[in-house]
Structure 1
Amino acid sequence: MEDAGQDEGFERFLKWAANLGISDCTTNLSLHPQSPTSCLGHSLTVSHFPDAGGRGLAAVRDIKKGELVLRVPKSVLITRDSLLKDDKLCSFVNNNIYSSLSPTQILAVCLLYEMGKGKSSWWYPYLIHLPRSYDVLASFSEFEMQALQVDDAIWTAEKAVSKAKSEWKEANSLMDGLKLKPQLLTFRAWIWASATVRYSYHFH
């Protein structure tokens, strides 16, 4: 029953995306006047890749090199400009106090801020389908790092954790100022947000 509910939720997400103009159709969208039920099906489909991180997109036909396979209007991308249409977020992020934060740190904070809005976030239909966690070095516990056994590997993992904690602490004042929910202020939440920004999804 849970899987069926998840499938229904994902179908709603695909319809939501289609209504925003996201499509894998290579022809002019104006030639398809009916309301689409999914943004996929012409070139791509959602599939599960257990050995490569889980859910992703798979081709449903032969695709030529250089061929356009997915249209995403700029207006629906999660970007710094689109996020800063929120007056509260804009006033904080543009404050010179936080000018030392990197673009990745800013976007990670913005993502946590949007998550805190829950259903009131314009991107909620997308956000709820993001992975709950990532297998990244920065999330390794002390036990996991020592289990690597090779000194160079342990050093690399320790460096990743140290860097992530440093970036998290640097962003703490901005997150506190935005009054994020306690669960969104944790290092675990920061790892999730920064990994989302860095590794898989469309943040520009």
Structure 2
Amino acid sequence: MESSAVRVVDFEGVGRGMQAVRDIAEGEVVLEVPLETCWTAAAAAESEEMQCVVRNFDKLNISEEDLIALHVLSWRTQSASHHRSDYVRQLPFQYDIPLVWCSNEIDNLSGSTYHGLALREKQRAEDKFSSLENTLQEIGGDCSEFLERHTITLDGYLWGLATVRSRSTELRIEEAQTGEIRELICLPAGGADQFNHSAAIKGECFRLTKEGRLQVVARESYKQGEQVFISYGNSLTTAQLLFTYGFAYDDALRVSKIGTPLENDAVDISHVVPDSCNSKEEAAKHGLVVEAVTMLEDEEHNGWNLQSREDDDAVQVLFHLRLSRPVPNCWLVTNRLLQLEDVQVRELQESSELMAKVLAGRPVSPANEEAALSAMSLELMTRLDGYGARSSELLSRLGGEGESASRRERLAVNLRLIESAILERALDAVQAMIAAPPPEAYVL
């Protein structure tokens, strides 16, 4: 690594990072490396060892991420002095993203919204590797020996994916002939992957020059000796930090701070809009729900999103509960609509004025309000029941500052406690609404 501005240093309590060797001004380029020395799909395509994979890219049904991971793995067995083998040798022996966790470690997320996600990601990767293994054998020739030649096992493949996922960045490249912008995954080399993340950093820190050089830009000024940070992304949540990068902010894993939500942490409450209903009345209610959340889009500021479920054709609405907004208006409105009596459904369908009042947050009727809040309270209590026992067991093992529990256990319990804290805040808010009469007049 050649830089007059930064050097690699092991920081106490933080680990490896970049230190300013002199004062650095905001906006200054602190490191620059040729893109060709980094790990990209184009670099893999130029590798002699990767030709059997590159030639059969479509047949193997792999992604750009897979290709780069296999390229990294192909250099693990090469002892020749080369900047790529040097890079691979300095990579961590293991990562802490759930993709590489064993089943017992994933079970520490039981009850969490993200337990299912961890299981699905792990299973998809295992299925992808099995398919890759079988297809390479079917192709034959040098392809049949690729994995064995480089001693690539399932565990190695997962390690390779974790390397790419936790250390890469996305770059935007303008095609010279068409002017189109395309994105490529880049695993930076030459020390550009040694910068740590700070939530205080705003703006993109990587940029690509027309000459094909990857630059790291300081987004703050630094004094000599200070650690130089980059941003892995704005407004990252605890779950994103864990699943993509395998870490949490160090303070968050201390016993005194564990389970403290970040500003953008959220728990999702889902409502499924079925593709077919048992009655016209039921279909009408769900129709009002879709109409409501669609019309509330501009007001909710990411309070919800609409998406298709993976296993069927049903649409689901995900309501995002945050500590700062534990009961988003769209979730409350949805529950009020779902508790409507048939006659109330018809009244709202026939009057846009009445529907507008409901969308504005006005309660429908005393009985409807009681039913809606009771349903919300029950859903929250049911969700909270899934967190308690396992979290208490893990917390009992944390000791003074977590010495008796592994880092992965602390990462898991941190995420679980954050979710339960948000759900408890939401439950408190709903119960307060139950205890106090609504301030606005009823719509019906």
The question of whether the paired residues in 2 share the 8 Å contact of 1:114 and 1:121 is answered with no
Name the counterpart of 1:43: 5
Match of 1:203 among 180, 187, 193: 187
The two structures have a TM-score, normalised by structure 2, of 0.33
CA distance in 2, matches of 1:174, 1:197: 22
* Distance change (3 Å), C-alpha of 1:49 and 1:98: farther
Q: Which AA in structure 1 matches 2:72? A: L
Instruction: Give the letter aligned to residue 165 of structure 2.
Output: R
- TM superposition score normalised by structure 1: 0.67
Give yes or no for the alignment of 1:154 onto 2:138. no
Query: Relative to structure 1, is the Cα distance of residues 134 and 109 closer, same or farther in structure 2, using a 3 angstrom cutoff?
Result: same
Partners of 1:191 and 1:62 in 2: CA distance: 40
Does the CA contact (< 8 Å) of 1:118 and 1:124 recur in 2?
yes
Secondary structure at the aligned position of 1:101 is classed as: coil
- Compare the two structures and name the one with the higher strand fraction: 2
Letter in 2 for 1:134: Y
Given that residues 77 and 151 in structure 2 are in contact (C-alpha distance below 8 angstroms), is that contact kept between their aligned partners in structure 1? yes
After TM superposition, the structure 1 stretch with the greater mean CA deviation from structure 2, 54-63 or 138-147, is 54-63
Residue 94 of structure 1 corresponds to which residue in structure 2?
Answer: 55
Percent identity between matched residues is 24
Mapped partners of 1:89, 1:61: distance in 2: 41
Structure 2 counterpart of 1:78, from 39, 46, 50: 39
Aligned with 1:170 (options 108, 131, 144): 131
Q: Which residue of 2 aligns with 1:4?
A: none
CA distance in 2, matches of 1:141, 1:160: 12
Q: 1:154 to 1:139 in 2, by over 3 A?
A: same
Measured after TM superposition, the shift of residue 165 of structure 1 is: 1.5
Is residue 107–residue 115 contact of structure 2 (8 Å, CA) maintained in 1?
yes
Partner residue, 1:5: none
Secondary structure of 1:152's match?
Answer: coil
Moved more, 153-162 or 86-95: 86-95
Structure with the largest fraction of helix:
1
Verify the 8 A CA contact 1:92 1:177 in the aligned structure 2. no
Which residue is equivalent to 2:153?
186
- Secondary structure at 2:33's aligned position in 1? coil
- Secondary structure of the residue aligned to 2:24 is coil
Please list the CA deviations of residues 106-133 of structure 1 after superposition, one character each: whole Å capped at 9, or x if unmatched.
1111221122223365511221111111
C-alpha distance in structure 2 between counterparts of 1:121 and 1:109, whole Å = 17
CA contact (8 A) 2:7 2:19 kept: yes
AA matched with 1:191: L
Aligned 1:85-124 pairs, distance under 5 A: 85-95=46-56, 98=59, 100-119=61-80, 123-124=84-85
TM-fit CA distance, 1:152: 1.9
Mapped to 2, the partners of 1:149 and 1:142 lie a distance apart of: 11
Distance (Å, rounded) in 2 between the aligned partners of 1:103 and 1:94: 14
Point out where structure 2 has 5 or more consecutive residues left out of the alignment: 138-142, 169-185, 189-444
SS in 1 for 2:31: coil
For 1:60, which of 21, 27, 35 is the aligned residue? 21
Between the aligned partners of 1:43 and 1:169, the Cα distance in structure 2 is 45
> Which residues in structure 2 correspond to 1:20-39 (within 5 Å)?
23-24=2-3
